[in-house]
Amino acid sequence: MTKGYLNFVLHGHLPWVLEQGTWPHGEVWLHEAAAETYCPTLSMLTDLSEKKSYTEMATIGLTPVLTEQLAHPRFKEGFVNYLEDRINASYKDKDHFNWIGDSETAKLSVRWVEFYSSVKEQFVERFNKDLTLGYRELQDRGAIEIITSGVSHGYLPLLGKEESVNAQIKGGQHIYRYRYGRDSSGIWLPELAYRPSYKWRNPVTEEEFERKGVEYYIQKNNMKYFLVDTPLLRGGEGIGTYLDRFTALQLLWQQYEKQKQDIQGENLSIYRPYIAGGSENLENKVSFLTRDDKTGILVWSGEHGFPGDGYYLEFHKKHFSSGNRYWRVTGSDVDLGEKKLYEPIKVVERLDENSAYFVKMVKENLLQYYDETSKPGSVVSPYDFELLGHWWFEGVGFLDRVINLVSEDDEISMITSKKYLETYPPKADTVVSLPEGSWGKGSFHWIWLNQDTMWVWKYIYECEEIYLQALKDFKKKHHKDFSVTKRLINQMGRELFLLSSSDWTFLISTWAARDYAEHRVSQHYESFKKLHEIFKESHENSLSEHQFQLLDKLEKEDSIAWEQDVYKWFEL
């Protein structure tokens, strides 16, 4: 008898990097994540589905901007080239280490050859270079659930216009339907950032107006649920995963901490779903699921969790010039120069122990909840997908073991968010009004809105205003060359989406690839403004050769949703 469920929710997301640099920032981000996370996890889940007939194994979020990149012809060819380069680099490592008499590290080089060769075979032969189709087929078999997000992962509570909030969610649903053949039941709100309905003041223009809660646009676009971090339901502090990784965030937090407001929350269980306050008057009520912080820290934290185990692969130390990693964590306080050599045999033992401990904790919490309520609850364990495999190399093996252990248990089972909500929907009297907030330390907007990022929001708010007026002009006037004008209004929409990505303000605040993020913000802003000037001229005249070349160039480089009329998503 099943007395409880484990629901892994894996949030796969990367900003648009195609045609936007290769290394150290740009397309290599996508290639690394595909090689270490997206492709190996897809292969592992497909094996479990085909060989063991497992179903409902995980809820996997593939953001629209990630989905569009994985489906793009440039990625499909570029990824094969990347894997071939990695294989060749690993062979050179093997020859080098053998030449200097380091046979142990040479053996690890062979393991990298085997790893990248396996990923290449999976990608080319098993999945025919189409990872989105592979995940879609898993969902069609009931093995997983896929959910969407905002088109470009825009930070919804801070976007200046309701049309922009709706466009992020509406476009997310549209791209999902186009790529995965159905509507998405749920949404991973970008940065888990929620905003209720209230009179909002723009932090730049100080304009005030009544805004609808995010749940209104979720319901409007035929979605049933979203997820929140623990403090938004119960109060207290967020885990603050990234605070340990970035010194710049620690300094920023010291400034913010003095003025933050504590979230009071309610003493409610995180093992059951609730109806979002503000949606109780909607025709179709919107539910939310809450992150389990007890299991969360075991996987999130490099300091307190499994990824910090001394025998796992050290992420930060790489061999020059291949970039391969040959060392283990050793200890959190051990200098990179003192890291010890990786021991694959020992890793198997650590994975077995860690996965068993994780399942033990999940089961104890679920059985306790069942004893108290006589109802099966669900432990919702949401993580950045890229954590498993990329940041924590052994994470895919951990996921594999946990799914197997839970699936073989008599009292607990794996489940997806949609399946759990269909089986155990929240009752009409379980309405909870959530506070505004996001995930991480402080549970609010400080990482994305601060003195270092205010200029970004000025750009976003300016372009939102211009674009909505341009849309009015586009609809009103009869254009001499309608197809060109339509191309312009669509590409302006794409530039606005890419400008609004939450990734840029995060990278600026953390000083991780800050120059790259600032460049991307400026680039999309300037591209938007240039397109707008051409758009205004296109009302009267034909485009010049130079203007056509610019439009062609931007359509090629910033081609998110390249097959869609994105301007239509901004209609309320």
Given a contact cutoff of 8 angstroms between Cβ atoms, the answer to whether 466 and 532 are in contact is yes
Q: Are strands 225-228 and 186-187 parallel, antiparallel or unpaired?
A: parallel
What is the C-alpha separation between 194 and 131, in angstroms, rounded? Answer: 30
Q: Which pLDDT score is estimated for 272? A: 96
Give residue 252's identity as a one-letter amino acid code: L
Percent of the chain with pLDDT over 90: 81
Q: Which pLDDT score is estimated for 572? A: 86
Q: What is the mean pLDDT of residues 263-277?
A: 80
Structure tokens at 464: 């939102």
List, for residues 483-496, the tens digit of each pLDDT value. 899 999 999 999 99
Q: Which pLDDT score is estimated for 261? A: 44
Q: What is the mean pLDDT of residues 95-106?
A: 97
Q: Which pLDDT score is estimated for 317? A: 96
Is 191 a residue of the active site?
yes
Is the per-residue pLDDT at 158 higher than 70? yes
**In this structure, what is the dihedral angle of CA atoms 139, 120, 69, 317, given to the nearest 10 degrees?**
110
Give residue 269's identity as a one-letter amino acid code: S
Indicate the pLDDT class of residue 232, thresholds 50, 70 and 90: confident
Of 43-57, 182-196, 275-289, where does mean pLDDT reach its minimum? Answer: 275-289
Q: What is the mean pLDDT of the chain?
A: 91
Is the per-residue pLDDT at 427 higher than 60? yes
Helix (H) or strand (E) holding 384: strand 377-384
For residue 27, the Cα-to-chain-centroid distance in whole angstroms is: 16
List, for residues 107-130, the tens digit of each pLDDT value. 999 999 999 999 999 999 999 999
Please provide the CATH number assigned to the domain covering 4-71+130-432: 3.20.110.10
Indicate the pLDDT class of residue 94, thresholds 50, 70 and 90: very high
Catalytic residue among 384, 386, 436, 558: 384
Nearest to 56 by CA among 111, 16, 6, 18: 6
What is the CATH architecture assignment of 454-570?
Up-down Bundle (1.20)
Nearest to 571 by CA among 127, 164, 26: 164
Residue with tokens 């888990």: 192
List, for residues 18-51, the tens digit of each pLDDT value. 999 999 999 999 999 999 999 999 999 999 999 9
Indicate the pLDDT class of residue 481, thresholds 50, 70 and 90: low
Catalytic residue among 36, 145, 191, 495: 191
Q: What is the pTM of this model?
A: 0.93
Q: Which pLDDT score is estimated for 243? A: 38
The dihedral built from the CA positions of residue 521, 526, 527 and 533, taken in this order, carries a sign that is positive
Q: Indicate the DSSP class of residue 190.
A: G
Where in the chain do CATH 3.20.110.10 domains reside?
Answer: 4-71+130-432
What is the C-alpha separation between 407 and 49, in angstroms, rounded? Answer: 12
Given a contact cutoff of 8 angstroms between Cβ atoms, the answer to whether 388 and 398 are in contact is yes
Where in the chain do CATH 1.20.1430.10 domains reside?
Answer: 454-570
Is the per-residue pLDDT at 207 higher than 80? yes
Indicate the pLDDT class of residue 441, thresholds 50, 70 and 90: low
- Using CA atoms, how far residue 192 sits from 16, 262, 403, 407, in Å, is 19, 18, 25, 28
Indicate the pLDDT class of residue 540, thresholds 50, 70 and 90: low
Given a contact cutoff of 8 angstroms between Cβ atoms, the answer to whether 5 and 376 are in contact is yes
Is the per-residue pLDDT at 309 higher than 60? yes
Given a contact cutoff of 8 angstroms between Cβ atoms, the answer to whether 492 and 561 are in contact is no
What would the DSSP string read from start to end of 319-331?
-TTT----BB---
Is 384 a residue of the active site?
yes
Give residue 289's identity as a one-letter amino acid code: L
List, for residues 352-366, the tens digit of each pLDDT value. 999 999 999 999 999
- Beta bridge pairs of residue 380: 7
Is the per-residue pLDDT at 259 higher than 50? no
Indicate the pLDDT class of residue 440, thresholds 50, 70 and 90: low
Is the per-residue pLDDT at 420 higher than 60? yes
Give residue 388's identity as a one-letter amino acid code: L
Out of 151-160, 191-200, 234-243, 250-259, the most confident range is 151-160
List, for residues 371-404, the tens digit of each pLDDT value. 999 999 999 999 999 999 999 999 999 999 999 9
